[in-house]
C-alpha cells in the first residue's frame, strides 16, 4: 500500500502555557489523527482568560507577517489546510486573509477552516466578546476565502444579519453562508428545541459542492448531543480541529465526519467533567483549573471514537 501523503496544517491560534485552548486544543488531536501541524501562536498567555489571573503577550500583524516570511524564504510554506480561531485584532485578521490567499494561489486545493469566534448567547441574549469592528472583516474578507466555517448560532446570525428561530431559518442562514463562499457550514450549537428533548443541544451541518461537470451535491444534517452541565473552554477549538480531520478522511460525507467529531467531543467532555468533580471534591463546584479538557487521557477516543452520537439527514 502507498503511504498516505503527508498532510500539513498551518494553525494560527492562541497558545496557553497551562491547559487546552487554541493551538493547545487543536494540535494534539490533529497530530494523533496523522497531520503535521505548524503552529503560529497569536497570543502566548499563562492560561486561558476564564481564570482569575492571566499574563502574557500578544502577537501583532507585523510579527505574524515576519514569521510567515521566514517560512517563505525557506520555501516551506506549503500547506493543505489553514486553521484559525479566536482573534481580537482587525489588522491581524486581515493579515491572516492575505496569507490564506497567497497559500491558495500556490495550492488551489488548500482548505481553510475558520471558526469565526465573535460571541455567544447566554440565557437567550447574544453578546460579542470581541471588538465590534471584527464583524465586517469576518463577513467581507474572511468568510469569502473560507472553505469550512464553524460558527455558533449567534455568530451565524451576525454574519448574515438574520435571526434563527426555527430549523428552517437555520437552513436558510446556512444557504446564505454558502453563497458567501464556504462549501461546508456547521452551526456548532444553537438554542433550537431538540426533538430528543431539553437535555440535548442541536448542531446543524450543511455541505454544498459543485462538481466539475456542473452537478451539485447538497447534504444537510442535524446532530443532537447530550448537554454537559459545566462551562468548558477550548471546546470550539477542539471541534474545529477534529472537523478538519474527519472531513479530510470522509471528504464527501458530512454525516460521518460530524458523528465522529461530536462523539469524540462527548467522550472528552464526559471524561473531563468526571475528573473535574473528583478533583473538586464532594459538594464543591469545579474551578477553571479542574475543568481543563482531559485531552491526553482521551487519546484513544480522539483517534478512533466510538460513535455515541448519530446525525440525522435532513
Alpha-carbon gap, residue 178 to 193, rounded angstroms: 24
Alpha-carbon gap, residue 110 to 80, rounded angstroms: 5
Q: The C-alpha cell of 250 is what?
A: 470522509
Alpha-carbon gap, residue 94 to 103, rounded angstroms: 14
Active site (annotated) includes residue 62: no
Q: The C-alpha cell of 227 is what?
A: 448537554
**HEC secondary structure over the chain:** CCCCCCCEEEEEEEEECCCCCHHHHHHHHHHHCCCEEEEEEEEEECCCCCCCCCCEEECCHHHHHHHHHHHHHCCCCCCCEEEECCCCCHHHHHHHHHHHHHHHHHCCCCEEEECCCCEEEECCEEEECCCCCHHHHHHHHHHHHCCEECCCHHHHHHHHCCCCCCHHHHHHHHHHHHHHCCCEEEECCCCCCCCCCCCEEEEEEEEEEECCCCCEEEEEEEEEEECCCCCCCCHHHHHHHHHHHHHHHCCCCHHHHHHHHHHHHHHHHHHHHHHHHHHHCCCCCCCCCCCCCCCHHHHHHHHCCCCCCCEEEC
Catalytic pick among 89, 147, 237, 301: 237
Q: So which residues are the catalytic ones?
A: 237
Amino acid at each position: 500500500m502507498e503511504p498516505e501523503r503527508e498532510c500539513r496544517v498551518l494553525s494560527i491560534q492562541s497558545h496557553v502555557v497551562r491547559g487546552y485552548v487554541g493551538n493547545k486544543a487543536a494540535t494534539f488531536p490533529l497530530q494523533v489523527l496523522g497531520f503535521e501541524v505548524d503552529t503560529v501562536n497569536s497570543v502566548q498567555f499563562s492560561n486561558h482568560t476564564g481564570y482569575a489571573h492571566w499574563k502574557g503577550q500578544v502577537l501583532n500583524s507585523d510579527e505574524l507577517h515576519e514569521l510567515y516570511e521566514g517560512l517563505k524564504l525557506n520555501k516551506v510554506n506549503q500547506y493543505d489546510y489553514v486553521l484559525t480561531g479566536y482573534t481580537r485584532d482587525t489588522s491581524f485578521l486581515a493579515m491572516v486573509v492575505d496569507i490564506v490567499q497567497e497559500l491558495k494561489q500556490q495550492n488551489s486545493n488548500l482548505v481553510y477552516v475558520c471558526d469565526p469566534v465573535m460571541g455567544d448567547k447566554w440565557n437567550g441574549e447574544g453578546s460579542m466578546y470581541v471588538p465590534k469592528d471584527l464583524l465586517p472583516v469576518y463577513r467581507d474578507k474572511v468568510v469569502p476565502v473560507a472553505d469550512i466555517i464553524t460558527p455558533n448560532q449567534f455568530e451565524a446570525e451576525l454574519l448574515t444579519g438574520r435571526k434563527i428561530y426555527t430549523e428552517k431559518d437555520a437552513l436558510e442562514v446556512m444557504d446564505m453562508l454558502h453563497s458567501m463562499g464556504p462549501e461546508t457550514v456547521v452551526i456548532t450549537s444553537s438554542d433550537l428545541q431538540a426533538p430528543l428533548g431539553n437535555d440535548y443541544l442541536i448542531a446543524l451541518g450543511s455541505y454544498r459542492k459543485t462538481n466539475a461537470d456542473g452537478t451539485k451535491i447538497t447534504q444537510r444534517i442535524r446532530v443532537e448531543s447530550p448537554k454537559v452541565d459545566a462551562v468548558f473552554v477550548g471546546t470550539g477549538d477542539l471541534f474545529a480541529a477534529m472537523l478538519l480531520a474527519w472531513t479530510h478522511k470522509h471528504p464527501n460525507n458530512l454525516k460521518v465526519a460530524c458523528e465522529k467529531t461530536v462523539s469524540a467531543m462527548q467522550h472528552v467532555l464526559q471524561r473531563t467533567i468526571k475528573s473535574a468533580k473528583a478533583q473538586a471534591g464532594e459538594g464543591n463546584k469545579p474551578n477553571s483549573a479542574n475543568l481543563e479538557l482531559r485531552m491526553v487521557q482521551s487519546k484513544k477516543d480522539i483517534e478512533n471514537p466510538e460513535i455515541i452520537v448519530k446525525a440525522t439527514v435532513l
